[in-house]
Amino acid sequence: MVKPERRAEFKDLMQRVRKYKEENPELFREVKSWRLFRQMFGGAAGAYVSMWEFESFVDLERCWAKEEKDEAFQKMHQELLQLIYPTTFTMKIWASAM
């Protein structure tokens, strides 16, 4: 959940992440797609969901390993953590049901 007073900074950060992803294709080679969704109706206002799609769990692990070593990406991740309520940050792995 993005802190209400930090929403403009969050939007700017997500634009920078998108641009960084485009400018560093090797870092994100395993990513099939990335989408950012904003809560529009129901639930809590200010909620966002960032969905990263990978072909396999192995691809996810490869991408995470590269991201962990990338100083610029880690800096953006730390910046993100300052813009949200920490208890609302979760990571989940989903698999196609059909």
| Full-model pTM | 0.84
Per CATH, domain 4-84 is 3.30.300: no
> What are the residue ranges spanned by the domains of the chain?
4-84
Phi, psi of 18 (to 5 degrees): -60, -45
Q: 17-37 burial, b for 16+ CB within 10 Å, e for fewer?
A: beeeeeeeeebbebbeeeeee
Q: What is the pLDDT of residue 30?
A: 97
pLDDT at 39: 85
The answer to whether the CB of 62 falls within 8 A of the CB of 78 is no
Closest CA to 16 of 72, 87, 85: 72
Per-residue pLDDT tens digits for 36-66: 998 888 777 768 899 999 999 999 999 999 9
